[in-house]
Amino acid sequence: MKILVIRLSSFGDIILTTPVIAAFKNKYPDSKIDFLVLENFKDAINGNKNIDNIIIFDKQKLKNYMDIKNFAKKLKKENYDYIFDLHSKFRSKIIANTIGVKTYTYKKRKLWKTLFVKLRLIKYKVDDTIVKNYFGAFKDFDIQYTGEKLEFSFSEQDMEKVKNYIDYPVISTGASKNTKKWPIEYFAQLINLIYEKYNKKIVIIGGKEDIEDTKKIEQLVNDKCINLSGKLSLKESGALLSKSKFLVCNDSAPFHISRGVGTKTYVIFGPTSPNMFEFYKNDTLIYADEKCSPCSLHGDVRCPKGHFRCMVNITPQFVFDQICSFKKII
């Protein structure tokens, strides 16, 4: 059996496909699995032991309907038996329809719910976790839900790059939207609290887009941190996290990477729903559970009510106390 799995973006959503792919491969060990993904997000799945071939969707070259259709015609020659469209949007539907084999899609939230949330008419309430919805696309193949055992791979070269920074606590300040970000000043205060108690520097990771914020943290904490923001690839960040004491982060890609490498993770949620995920003993949810939260599907530029209580009411001391409750963590 040869199948094509389509999940073009984003980083976290792609990592969340790994449990169902592993379950499928376990059920059908002789199957061949190709995975279609955008170039920018290939590192989320590249190197996964259950994937036979990564196919890159280059959106710079495939800009219109005919470009995508011609791309799909080439894929049709691969003679797939089935397609699992775990993206289920315009581009993935064109590809699946053009290839023309039996296609299974996952259950997405209803369009009316998306519109009502965006119009602030209702709060966002999830129907099920993302991973369980992915498993739903495979129900005809007798694939049983096995939980959110995420997988994230990296190489020996990635580990070599970060070998001087292992065994430290790590924080990641970034997120895709402003309202998903815990205040920078709070991260700085948390670093001070950790350092004062454990005399241990904290490593900061993030992308180039996070450099400005992390430089502010450096100024606030002096020499109590090691700022690697903008210096590591996501694969290298995964290698680092696999050997870290723990991670404190927002609802963002590092949250899923950390879970994928088995690191103790403290994740801060504000405007988005933590019910999109299952949390296990290695995952600690930090959530104020404000009356107006969750108010957004993916976060916003600014708090729609202007007070940002879902984040500012989560104090550095509270997060620090959660960390200290695991006495052997440092």
Give the global pTM: 0.94
Task: List the domain boundaries for the chain.
Answer: 2-141, 156-324
Q: What is the mean pLDDT of the chain?
A: 94
b/e code 104-114 from CB counts within 10 Å (16+ = b): bbbeeeeeebe
Residue 117 has pLDDT above 90, yes or no: no
How far is C-alpha 68 from the geometric centre of its chain's CA atoms?
A: 26
How far is C-alpha 81 from the geometric centre of its chain's CA atoms?
A: 29
pLDDT digits 0-9 by tens, 39-59 = 999 999 999 999 999 999 999
Domains 2-141 and 156-324 share a fold: yes
Strand order in the sheet with 53-57: 53-57, 32-38, 2-6, 82-85, 103-105
Q: What amino acid occupies position 284?
A: T
pLDDT digits 0-9 by tens, 180-215 = 999 999 999 999 999 999 899 999 999 999 999 999
- What pLDDT was estimated at residue 127? 83
pLDDT digits 0-9 by tens, 292-320 = 999 988 899 999 999 999 999 999 999 99
pLDDT digits 0-9 by tens, 247-285 = 999 999 999 999 999 999 999 999 999 999 999 999 999
Domain 156-324: CATH superfamily is Glycogen Phosphorylase B; (3.40.50.2000)
- What pLDDT was estimated at residue 74? 97
Regarding the domain delimited by 2-141, which CATH topology (the fold level of the hierarchy) does it fall under? Answer: Rossmann fold (3.40.50)
CB 173, CB 206: distance < 8 Å: yes
Q: What amino acid occupies position 224?
A: K
Residue 167 has pLDDT above 90, yes or no: yes
